[in-house]
Every structure is written in C-alpha cells, then in structure tokens.
Structure 1
Amino acid sequence: MDLCITIKGVSFFLQTGLGILGNASVLMAYAHITYKESRLQPVDRILAHLAFSNLLLLLTRGVPQTVVIFGLRNLLDDPGCKVVMYFYRINRGLSVCLTGMLSFFQALTIAPSAGRYLTKLKSHLSQLVMPTFIGLWLLNMTDCIPISVFSIAPRNGTVPAFTLNLGFCHVNFGNNMSYVVVGAVISTRDFVFVAVMLASSGYILILLHKHSRQVRSIRRTQQGTSMEMQAAKTVVMLVLLYTVFFGIDNVIWIYMLTVAQVPAVVVDMRVFFSSCYATCSPFLMISTNKKIKERMVCVAGEQSAEDSGDKPNIK
C-alpha cells in the first residue's frame, strides 16, 4: 500500500475512532446523569444532542471514508449513497445549528434579568429546547434534500465535471448552476448560525469580564453563579473551536465552488477538517464540564469497586 494512502487511512481511522469514543462517552455520562437526577438543564440537553449529532456525523462520513481508503470498493449503491449522504448532511448541519443554539441559550441563561420580557423568556428556556430541536431538524432535513437527490454510487472511469468525489459516493450536480446554488444555500445557513454563535459568545465574554471584576472584590460567590460561568466558558471554547475548523472548511469549500474538477486531495482535506470539530468537541466537553467529568469518574469508581468485590478472597 502506498505510504500516502496509509498515512491518510490511519489519520481518518484515528479521527473517526477517537471521535466515536469521545461522543459516546459524553452521551453515556449524560444518560447516567439523567438516570440519577431525572432532569437535565437546557444547556446540558443541547450538549447531549450535539454529541449525538456529532456521533452520527462520524458514523455516516468518517467510517465509510476510512474503509474506502483501506481498499473496500463498491461499499454503497445509489439508494445507499442517497441515504448515507442525506443523514451525514443533516447531522453536519445540526452540528453548526446546535452550537449556535448552545451559545444563544447560554447567553440568555447568564444574562442579567433586566426587564419583564427577558425574565419571562429565561423562565421558559427549558420549554423552548424541544421545539427548537424540532425546528432545527426540519430546517436541515429540508436543506439537505438536494444533496440526497444528486448522490450516486461511484462509476468506473473519470469523474464528471461538477461532481464531488467522496470516495464511497459521488455527488453529481450535473451543471454549474446547481453546483453553485446548492453550495450557496448550505453556506448561507452555516454563516447565519456562525454569526449567531459569535455574537452570543461575544456577549458571554463581556459578562464573564464583568463577573471576574466582581469576584475580585467579593471573595465568595454563589455556587450556582459559579457553575453557570464555568458552563459559559465551555460554550465559548466550543464556539472558538468550531469557528477555527469552520473557517478552514469554508475556505476549501469556496475554492471547490470555483473549479469544475475538484482534486481528490482537496476533497480529503475538507472531509478531514470538517470532521475535526465532531472529534475534538467531546474531549473539550469532558475536560471543561465538571458535571460530565465527575459522572465519568463516579462510574469508573463504581465499576472498579464492583470488579474488586467480585474477586475471590485468596489467603
């Protein structure tokens, strides 16, 4: 096997494997928290949904990409490509939408209650989570229909113009107009939600700065406020992480929209960077979210205690 292919295969394998492990760990931690506490805060519910979407993203894109690199051909037929690409695009869209939703809800959570409308809105945040989830799913399910229509199984021979060669599937737009319009619609959606998350994160940073100035003069702060501020820092770091990979991803995407025949190495680069957030975000959640970290340590301790208790006592 060629050295470049081996390096590419190992890179995608590690990215996909670590991402699946990280997101699954976050989901199991939240499942355990739900079992113990029977209720999650709005931001925790969004984080859990984000981990779920990132897990599906890696399963529908990272796994097929990896196995194709290692030589498995004819993995999917036309209907299989349409289904896999549809769910991949939905979860990729949900990743940016949920991060935007996360930053917006966190900004509302820590915002000072300066007005009757804002106070009422904050009191109803928990009830707004599920309708927002449904709205984001419907939005992305609608936006991603064209990608499903244009997706086909790879054909022998050269790749036609205005076709994205993803290895395990081709997305054949047929002409320049469809190629540009679909790309512009998807990019517009992404940029809108990135603008929301950047604006919300900017507001969060302002509140964090004010909070840090207050802490200098007040030695002790309320535990609830401290936890909210720690959660806000996690959200800001997630937004920063997404923005970095989003920027790289879209620079490559804009280049791809300007050429009829996209080089395979460019597609591979975009696939890798577009999946980096799904892989890195759960580890950022685990390292910065005290609730997730404590739950994982607690479960590991309980498992260790059970294992030691099952061992026979040999004298």
Structure 2
Amino acid sequence: MNKDNTLYYSAYRIAFFSEIGIGISANSCLLLFHTFMFIRGHRPRLTDLPIGLMALIHLVMLLLAAYITEDFFMSSGGWDDITCKLFIFLHRFFRSLSVCATCMLSVFQAIILCPQSSHLAKFKLNSPHQLSCFFIFMSIFYTSISSHILIAAIATRNLTSVNLIHITKSCSFLPMSSSMQRTFSTLLAFRNVFLIGLMGLSTCYMATLLCRHKTRSQRLQNSKLPPKATPEQRAIWTILMLMSFFLIMSTFDSIMTYSRTIFQGNQSLYCVQILVAHGYAAFSPLLVLNNEKRLTSLMISMYDRIVTLESLCS
C-alpha cells in the first residue's frame, strides 16, 4: 500500500470511528433518557417504546460495526470461519431490526394520528399488540433472506484469490451462482421496496394530516400567527424527520451498493458505503433528542435537585 492509499484509509478510518463514536454516545443518551423516564414513573407516550427499542438496536449494531470494520482497516489476524459468520450475520440481523423498528414506528404513529372516521382507527386499541407481532414477523422474514451469510461467509485464507468477495481483511464471501444471485437480489429488492414503500406511505399520510390540522387551527384562531406546536405535533415532526432521513440514507446506500457491483474491487466505494450505511443509526438519535422537550425539563429538574442538595449540605 502506497503513501496516498495510507492517507486515504487513515482519513476514512477517522471519519468512520468519529461517526461510530457520535452514534454510540447519542443512542446511549437516548436509551438512558427513556429508561430514566420510565423509572421515575412518567406516563410514557405510545411512541416511546419503539424509539427506545431503536436506540438499543442501533447501539448494538454500531458496536458490532466498529469491531468488524476495525478488521477492514487493520487485520486482527485471529478470525476463523465461526467468528466471521457470527459477527457478520449479527450485524446484518441488527440492521434488519433497525429497518423493521423504523417501519413499525412510522406505521404506529400514523395509526395514532388517524381520525376516528378513518379505516385505520379500528387498529388503535390493539395497535401495540398487532405491531409487536408485525415487528417480530418482519424481523424473521427480513433476516431469513440474509441467512445465506451463515454459509457464504468464511475466513480469508488466500488474499490473492480472485473468486472471493472480500469484506474485511479476515473475512470474505464465497461467490454465488448467477441463479442464486438473481434469487437473492429479487428477494432483497422485494423486502426493501415493501418496507420503504410502507414507510413512505405512512410518512405522506402523517404529513397530509399535519398540514390539514395546521390549516384548520389557523382558521379557528383567525390569526396569521402560527399556532404554538403541541407535544403531539412536535412528536409527529420528529418522526417525519426520522422517516425522511431514513429514506434519504437508504437511497444513498442502494446507490453505493449498486455502484460496488459495477466497480468491483474499488475499496474507496466500500469505505463510503460503510459511512452511508451507518449514518442513520449514528445521527437519528440526535434528531429525537433535539426535539425532545422532556429532556430539557428533566435536566432542569436534576439541576434544581443538585442545587438543593448542595445548599442543604452547606
């Protein structure tokens, strides 16, 4: 590896682990916030459970990504077939859970927001149970399509082999036949179109209802000033931003994946794809925390308690 490539890989490594560090910190804060709110006995919102679940999934996924990608930049030299299969499959599994949890959050919020006259209103009473079953079913289906990793992933024994698809310096994929590749590509396209399409529809539905509500509120108030956003409206805007961010990052990830199939062996494309593939998991909790007004109230409450304790001790 020449000096220029070394500089490029060092830049990619710094960028990736900076992204991972931000993501682990943000998801940990979001998970601790929801856990602390639950322990304190605050009445949870209906979307708190899906958001807390997403934070936990993203936290584990980023930890696995950091361990796997470190082997891409600097070979550990100690990975065998079982280690490669286990870590790569677990990483794909938690990526599947991330997509399914995001879809569940979008559909769940759309059901909560729908008016009583809508056909979706009949799902409101049983939506937590039904969506939990939907999440479990979609996670199993989504993961089963990636089960070939348990066979295809092997420890790299010959770095010069042209038949292997290298993932890291220690792990590679065995090449698939053209028929198997077409089958898995079709299944992958179907699952992505289905879930992303479902998220897109629910996002458009929420945006339409929110615009109608805003217009109706302005007419009732007969004022040009925009009405003050309620906590429910802020929650909807947060989820709309999450869905939009997810759709953008998924589109970029698909483009990078397709580009890698055309320009095989291009390590720079693989590095960029790694950054894009984990962008949603790393930065989505920042969107939630930024719009979470309860976090500000919690911090003020904790600060007041600390000041009170210090005054009593002195």
Q: Which residue of 2 is the match for residue 244 of structure 1?
A: 248
Q: Which residue of 2 is the match for residue 149 of structure 1?
A: 151
- Contact between 2:249 and 2:276, CA under 8 Å: does it hold in 1? yes
Q: Which residue of 1 is the match for residue 206 of structure 2?
A: 204
CA–CA separation in structure 2 for the residues paired with 1:182 and 1:8 = 30
- Could you say what secondary structure the match of 1:114 adopts? coil
Q: Which residue of 1 is the match for residue 57 of structure 2?
A: 53
Q: CA deviation at 1:309?
A: 7.0
CA–CA separation in structure 2 for the residues paired with 1:144 and 1:302 = 50
- Aligned AA (2:140): L
Q: CA deviation at 1:177?
A: 3.5
User: Structure 1 residues 129, 30: CA separation in 2 closer, same or farther (over 3 Å shift)?
Assistant: farther
Q: Which residue of the other structure, out of 6, 9, 26, is the alignment partner of 1:5? A: 9
- Unaligned 5+ residue runs, structure 2? 223-228
- Could you say what secondary structure the match of 1:262 adopts? coil
1:70-108: CA deviation from partner (whole Å, max 9, x where unpaired): x34225321111111111111112222221221111111
Q: CA deviation at 1:265?
A: 1.5
User: Structure 1 residues 75, 13: CA separation in 2 closer, same or farther (over 3 Å shift)?
Assistant: farther
In the TM superposition, what are the counterparts of 1:220-299 in structure 2 within 5 Å?
A: 226-258=230-262, 261-295=264-298, 297=299
CA–CA separation in structure 1 for the residues paired with 2:146 and 2:42 = 34
Q: CA deviation at 1:183?
A: 3.5
CA–CA separation in structure 2 for the residues paired with 1:75 and 1:25 = 33
| Identical counterparts, % of pairs | 21
- Could you say what secondary structure the match of 2:53 adopts? helix
- Contact between 1:60 and 1:84, CA under 8 Å: does it hold in 2? yes
- Contact between 2:58 and 2:98, CA under 8 Å: does it hold in 1? yes
Q: Which residue of 2 is the match for residue 28 of structure 1?
A: 32
Q: Which residue of the other structure, out of 87, 91, 94, is the alignment partner of 1:88? A: 91
Q: CA deviation at 1:293?
A: 4.9
User: Structure 1 residues 162, 179: CA separation in 2 closer, same or farther (over 3 Å shift)?
Assistant: farther
User: Structure 1 residues 86, 18: CA separation in 2 closer, same or farther (over 3 Å shift)?
Assistant: same
1:36-81: CA deviation from partner (whole Å, max 9, x where unpaired): 2376333211111111111121111133313642x34225321111
CA–CA separation in structure 1 for the residues paired with 2:290 and 2:147 = 36
- Aligned AA (1:113): Q
- Could you say what secondary structure the match of 2:230 adopts? helix
User: Structure 1 residues 174, 121: CA separation in 2 closer, same or farther (over 3 Å shift)?
Assistant: closer
- Contact between 1:110 and 1:229, CA under 8 Å: does it hold in 2? no
CA–CA separation in structure 1 for the residues paired with 2:68 and 2:240 = 32
RMSD: 2.8
Q: Which residue of 1 is the match for residue 174 of structure 2?
A: 172
TM-score by length of 2: 0.86
- Aligned AA (1:178): M
**More displaced, 298-307 or 123-132?**
298-307
Aligned length: 305
- Unaligned 5+ residue runs, structure 1? none
CA–CA separation in structure 2 for the residues paired with 1:134 and 1:110 = 23
Q: Which residue of the other structure, out of 107, 121, 127, is the alignment partner of 1:125? A: 127
User: Structure 1 residues 186, 108: CA separation in 2 closer, same or farther (over 3 Å shift)?
Assistant: same
- Contact between 2:154 and 2:173, CA under 8 Å: does it hold in 1? yes
Q: Which residue of 1 is the match for residue 225 of structure 2?
A: none
1:109-146: CA deviation from partner (whole Å, max 9, x where unpaired): 1111105x533311222333432332233223322211
- Contact between 2:154 and 2:172, CA under 8 Å: does it hold in 1? yes
Q: CA deviation at 1:247?
A: 0.8
TM-score by length of 1: 0.86
User: Structure 1 residues 63, 290: CA separation in 2 closer, same or farther (over 3 Å shift)?
Assistant: farther
Q: CA deviation at 1:32?
A: 1.0
